[in-house]
């Protein structure tokens, strides 16, 4: 499991001293004693923290003569910041693959072609919701979309993107603000089946 890497990353950011170190390094690279000086700590303490930051991949170092400069790895920071969110998303799609109920699958078979096109928009509300679920899942949580992009993506399923777009809003899969669309959190999505709890 690579959960451990994730934990080490979050542990690295779970300490005030280390956050302050990273903030300092965001201005410019620094060597150990400079950091110690600015934070009012002793060099061994800095070594301790730099070890953890290094293990998390958040800093790299270069030697210059006798002194070692530490330097922030911004890209790693950004990648790992979202790692857990991504993991949850994977889990989610895995789940819906294995857990999609028979009933749902039947609806899919009826309304989607094998290459993922929507044959017709279901008239019955419950079936329509199931279909909308699948369409909404092609968008990413947290990402903002312009109407053009929305239409494009919906059109991969069906040509009547206007109706489907409106349905996504009506049933709270997404919301619109000043022409920008974004997914609602999954908890706001309508349940497509009975509750399982």
Partner DNA sequence: AATCTAATTAGATATTTATCAAATTAAAAG
Partner DNA sequence: CTTTTAATTTGATAAATATCTAATTAGATT
Applying CB under 8 A, the residues found at the interface with a second copy are: 3-4, 6-7, 10-11, 13-16, 19, 22-23, 26-31, 34, 64, 69, 71-75, 77-78, 81-82, 84-85, 87-88, 91-92, 95, 105, 108-109, 113-115, 141-142, 185-187, 196-197
Binding to DNA in span 146-185, by CB under 7 A: none
Q: Length of the chain, please?
A: 197
Q: Which residue from 115, 131, 124, 113 is spatially nearest to 168, judged by alpha carbons?
A: 131
Q: Pick one of a second copy, DNA, none as the site partner of residue 13 (Cβ within 5 to 8 A by kind).
A: a second copy
Smallest gap from Cβ 87 to a second copy, in A, equals: 8
Instruction: Identify which range of 43-51, 105-113, 129-137, 183-191 contacts DNA by CB under 7 A.
Output: 43-51
**What distance in Å separates the CA atoms of residue 4 and residue 1, rounded to the nearest whole number?**
7
Residue 101 binding DNA, by CB under 7 A: no
Q: Which residue from 63, 65, 45, 58 is spatially nearest to 11, judged by alpha carbons?
A: 58
CB 144 within 8 A of CB 181: yes
Q: What angle do CA 103, 109, 115 make, to 5 degrees?
A: 140
Smallest gap from Cβ 101 to a second copy, in A, equals: 13
> Applying CB under 7 A, what is the total number of residues that bind DNA?
26
**What distance in Å separates the CA atoms of residue 16 and residue 22, rounded to the nearest whole number?**
10
**Residue 100 main-chain phi, psi, to 5 deg:** -50, 125
Residue 46 binding DNA, by CB under 7 A: yes
Name the DSSP class of 186: G
Of residues 177 and 187, the one with the C-beta less far from a second copy: 187
Of residues 68 and 83, the one with the C-beta less far from DNA: 68
Of residues 46 and 135, the one with the C-beta less far from DNA: 46
CB neighbours of 33 closer than 8 A, spacing ≥ 6? 43, 46, 67
Per-residue x/- track, 1-40, DNA (CB under 7 A): ----------x--xxxx-------------xxx------x
CB 131 within 8 A of CB 107: yes
Which residues bind to DNA, rule: CB under 7 A? 11, 14-17, 31-33, 40-52, 63, 65-68
């Amino acid at each position: 499991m690579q959960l451990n890497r994730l934990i080490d990353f979050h542990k690295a950011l779970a300490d005030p001293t280390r956050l302050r170190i990273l903030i300092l390094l965001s201005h410019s690279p620094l060597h150990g004693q400079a950091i110690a000086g600015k934070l009012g700590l002793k060099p061994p303490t800095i070594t301790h923290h730099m070890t953890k930051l290094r293990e998390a991949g958040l800093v790299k170092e270069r030697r210059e003569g006798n002194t070692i400069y530490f330097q922030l790895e911004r890209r790693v920071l950004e990648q790992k910041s979202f790692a857990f969110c991504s993991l949850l998303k994977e889990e989610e799609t895995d789940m819906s693959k294995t857990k999609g109920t028979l009933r749902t699958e039947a609806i899919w078979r009826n309304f989607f072609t094998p290459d993922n096109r929507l044959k017709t928009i279901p008239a019955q509300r419950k079936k329509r919701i199931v279909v909308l679920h699948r369409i909404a899942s092609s968008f990413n949580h947290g990402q903002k979309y312009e109407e053009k992009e929305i239409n494009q993506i919906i059109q991969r399923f069906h040509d009547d993107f206007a109706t489907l777009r409106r349905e996504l809003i009506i049933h709270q899969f997404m919301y619109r603000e000043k022409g920008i669309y974004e997914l609602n959190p999954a908890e706001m999505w309508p349940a497509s089946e009975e509750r399982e709890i």
